[in-house]
Copies of this chain bind each other. A is one copy, B any other.
Amino acid sequence: MRASRLMGPKDVRVEEVPDPVISSPESAVIDVTVTAICGADLTSYWGYVPGFEWGTIMGHEFVGVVRQVGDDVKTVKPGDRVMVSSMTSCGRCWYCRHGMQPQCENRALFGFSGAYPRLDGGQAEHALIPNADRDLWPLPDTVSDEAAVFVADILSTAYRGVERAALSCGDDVAIVGCGPLGLMAIMVARLAAGRILALDTVPARLEAAESLGAIPIVADEAAIARVKDLTAGRGVDAVIECAGGAPALTTAMQLARPRGMVSVIGAHFEPDFCLDAGAMFANETTLSISIGAPTDDREEVLRLVETGRVDPVPVISHRMKLDEAAEAYRMFEAREAMKIILTP
């Protein structure tokens, strides 16, 4: 089959590789129909993931049709159209039993190696799914493949970040970072809050945020003052940090009102983030970081799409072929694209 593999830093190649085969009675093989590139893929693309095995097939956002299932698979069958959770999980450990998929003791992220055990991803014609009864989920007819690819990862992550913010009706919410994840967060937060103040530096992203109903705010030095002006001098009730990295988190901490909540869904790897603990104490702030849990939340997230309350598809800026993966990664890294869909 054709597959998009990372052979070295910034070296994505689509080449012929052996077809995956059923590896255990719990596994399945699917035909991939739609796959997407995620900001998290850039971490390995840039060579930042310790222990990453060059040759790993990329991609943790994908949907497909079941081709073959192992003997113990009970909830899906060949021919079923399915979404794939971005992270496999065992369903048996303490964390899985307590509804904490991202903390599963046996987790692995599709398209990654190093941080977790290698698990080839979905930017390919077919993909092996280790624990089909948990990793796969049949799609309703009313949810398109293109919509479902967001449920697999970033829409679920946004859902988790908004739920964690524990909003009251009418709360003012700031979204830090209006990339694809931030736009998902705006769509979901609009169902649970009052005003959405969206911060970014890229004009096109701010326009996209505004088109979703948010108040766009250029994330420059005056941004914090502008947010305070809009909120009676106090700051917002909750911040959802969707960009990752230290500068975004630093900004986020300054936007929350006293007793406010900073709910982080951007990725963080800084071992030495410089936290203003004095300000956090003075303001009695809460800081909470969440990882998306598509296996735990997919029914709730799919419902948002099914009922039309959220439509993630307009976030797709480019539809390309799998064979164009190298060019797609280049464009995505250069921020020439908002969200790129690849089809085999």
Contacts and interface: CB of A to CB of B under 8 A. Distances in A.
Interface stretch (A3-11, A15-23, A261-269, A329-337): A261-269
Interface stretch (A59-67, A124-132, A198-206, A303-311): A303-311
Contact of A270 (B269, B270, B278, B299): B278
B103 A284 contact: yes
A78 to B, nearest CB: 19
Contact of A304 (B102, B163, B170): B170
Contact of A300 (B168, B195, B271, B287): B168
A92 B76 CA distance: 12
A169 B74 CA distance: 30
Interface residues of A, number: 63
A92 B137 CA distance: 12
Contact of A100 (B97, B103, B259, B309): B259
Interface of A: 72, 74-75, 92, 94-95, 97-100, 102-103, 159, 162-163, 167-170, 188, 191-195, 232, 234, 246, 249, 258-259, 264, 267-281, 283-291, 299-301, 303-304, 307, 309
Nearest to A285: B289
Given A191-B192, A276-B272, A299 B72 contact: no
A27 to B, nearest CB: 15
Given A162-B169, A194-B191, A289 B281 contact: yes
A94 B258 CA distance: 11
Nearest to A265: B281
Given A284-B289, A287-B287, A194 B309 contact: yes
Contact of A286 (B234, B279, B287): B287
A193 B191 contact: yes
B92 A75 contact: yes
Given A103-B259, A258-B100, A273 B271 contact: no
Contact of A273 (B267, B275, B289): B275
B170 A300 contact: yes
